[in-house]
Amino acid sequence: MCCVIIAAAVYAMLGTGRTASTKTSAPTAAAGSSRGPKPSAPAKSSSSGTWVPTNPAIADVCRSKLPSQAQDTLGLIAKGGPYPYRTDGVVFENRESRLPRHSNGYYHEFTVVTPGSGDRGTRRVVTGTDGEQYWTADHYGTFQEIDSRC
């Protein structure tokens, strides 16, 4: 019990790990598209320069460990497109609340190409307005927060 209290106290002191100097602005429409945001790179660091996940209850994954198609999608997101699917960049509503709760419009989803799939498949990258990025391989069943440092 004491470890839980200590962990909660540390998390409360660190907050989300963002400081005023690392917070990014809201996404804007991508060039040539009215629906895709142009998010900036994630800015995850505490005052000590260590990456801190947005929500410690969500597992994290190194960007380099993602499938190459997910890395390609992250590259397109960083450039603001163009995206391969017309629905890329639409609002992700987080209906099941598997990601931290925010107002509608905070999250946007992007398709990760699935080789051999005749449709969009089940793989997605979901981005938050503050720059956080999440990976799901099972169509929103589970998420991992992407650590872009590794």
Number of domains in the chain: 1
Predicted pLDDT at 51: 57
Predicted pLDDT at 59: 86
Model pLDDT for residues 60-114, shown as the tens digit of each residue: 999 999 999 999 999 999 999 999 999 999 999 999 999 999 999 999 999 999 9
Known active-site residue 109 = yes
The beta-strand segments (E) located in the chain are: 60-62, 90-92, 107-111, 124-128, 133-136, 144-147
What's the CATH code of the domain at 22? Answer: 3.10.450.30
Give percent of the chain above pLDDT 90: 59
Catalytic hit among 93, 108, 139, 145: 139
pTM for the model stands at: 0.67
Catalytic hit among 108, 109, 132, 145: 109
Q: Show the domain range for 139.
A: 2-147
pLDDT higher at 24 or 55: 55
Known active-site residue 108 = no
